[in-house]
Amino acid sequence: MEKDQFKILIDKYLQNLAGEDEVSLVDKYYDKLSGDITNEVSANDTVTEQALLSKINQKIDAIEGRGVTTQKRTIKLFPNWLKIASVLAVIASAYYFFQQKNLPGKQDSIDYASKILPGGNKAILRLGNGKYIDLAAAKTGKLTAFGSSSANKIQVDEVSFADGIAEASGNQPLNVIEVPVGGFFKVVLSDGTRVWLNSSSSLTFPSDFTGAQRNVKLTGEGYFEVAHQAQKPFIVETNKQSVEVLGTHFNINAYSDENQIKTTLLEGSVKVLTADQKRSATLKPGEAAVLSDKNLSVQLADVSQSIDWINGRFNFSHTDVKLVLRKIARWYDIEVAYEGDLSGVEFGGKISKKKNLKEILNMLNRTGDVKFKVTGRRVVVMP
């Protein structure tokens, strides 16, 4: 396509006279530019309207041989204007687009990454009485009743057992809430304890806590706000350790594909005990217990980094690229492979978990340390 022809196309687009195929072509040119624009995004994922407009003005001035203006202008960029302004920037600064004979073929290629959407509120509840409930599909309200307890879906991302009244004796059936890859869910236990479960995690718990202790089992990652009961400690078991509390707020990261288990304390006090009961540590708020192989250590913790996942953010600080991609893979349900030497590559910053995969990878790619190739749901990471 010649440059003059493209200008005619933009005129038709601006006047709402473009046909369906022409609108699609404009959209594709916009997508082609979006990588350039995205690479200018600041580390905190914020782009001001003024900064974007200034960038476009500079591109146009440079092509037309005029000096770059320093005059400040404030224009409200609504979505349609944002797209139009970006396309005009293409005309001014990307003339080589019009010279590529094979451009149409490139534009027709599938943009896999933009089609991979973030995870959401989904989980499966397997009740001790054998009942199976898809919590994402279930309507809010009472889900089931059994014994002295009932399960209720409070809102789209939460199920509650807190209305039950514990029986005096007898074994309680164990329930399991399973959060798949790309999922997130909350559960309120019968004692009022609240648990947030991250992707690829599960919690096993009774309908009522009837014994001398309140025992649950965790796989993956969970954030706990434990209801205080002075005479009945709350114990979280994982495959390599247990955590004992009375009433407190803490996070446990115990994924089987990680080389350590990390317990971070926000409030109160917790005791971490290894499965062989040979090592233990008592934490104070702001500390983390790290269990690696058979070594248990206590260190100062970045609390916000440990729990930002419950607030819908990835939070990285000098985080190894492979750990970053494991977290991303669990949320976007993707397969990750590596080519070349990526040793020493780390990332830092916060990224919203509401973005599609393309936006996430663009932000990581902006560092210049890594490149990505996406085919289907497989992402190859290269230096």
Are the C-beta atoms of 180 and 124 separated by less than 8 Å?
yes
DSSP state, residue 96:
G
pLDDT for the residue 333: 95
Are the C-beta atoms of 217 and 196 separated by less than 8 Å?
no
pLDDT for the residue 5: 65
pLDDT for the residue 9: 67
269: its two tokens:
């006090």
pLDDT tens-digit profile, the chain (383 residues):
555 566 666 666 555 566 767 766 666 655 555 444 444 433 343 333 344 444 444 544 444 444 333 333 332 333 444 445 555 554 444 444 444 434 443 333 357 788 899 999 999 999 887 888 999 998 888 887 755 567 888 888 999 987 554 444 456 779 999 999 999 999 999 999 999 999 999 999 998 888 899 999 999 999 999 999 988 999 999 999 999 998 899 999 999 999 999 999 999 999 999 988 889 999 999 999 999 987 999 999 999 899 999 999 999 988 999 999 999 999 999 999 999 999 899 998 899 999 999 999 988 888 778 899 999 999 999 98
pTM (two decimals): 0.71
332: its two tokens:
């976007």
For residues 182 and 200, give the distance between their C-alpha atoms in angstroms, rounded to a whole number.
7
Are the C-beta atoms of 310 and 282 separated by less than 8 Å?
no
Q: Tell me the one-letter amino acid at 7.
A: K
pLDDT for the residue 35: 47
Evaluated on CA atoms 88, 92, 93, 99, the torsion sign reads positive
pLDDT for the residue 32: 53
* Tens-place pLDDT, residues 42-75: 334 333 334 444 444 454 444 444 433 333 333 2
CB atoms within 10 A of CB 230: 7
pLDDT for the residue 285: 94
Helices (H) and strands (E) in the chain, counts: 9, 24
- Chain-centroid distance, C-alpha 137: 21
pLDDT for the residue 143: 83
Phi, psi dihedrals of residue 285, rounded to the nearest 5°: -55, 135
* Tens-place pLDDT, residues 223-269: 999 999 988 999 999 999 999 998 899 999 999 999 999 999 999 99
pLDDT for the residue 380: 94
Q: What is the 3-state secondary structure (H, E, C) of 127-178?
A: CCCCCEEECCCCCCEEEEEECCEEEEEEECCEEECCCCCCCCCCCCCEEEEE
pLDDT for the residue 52: 42
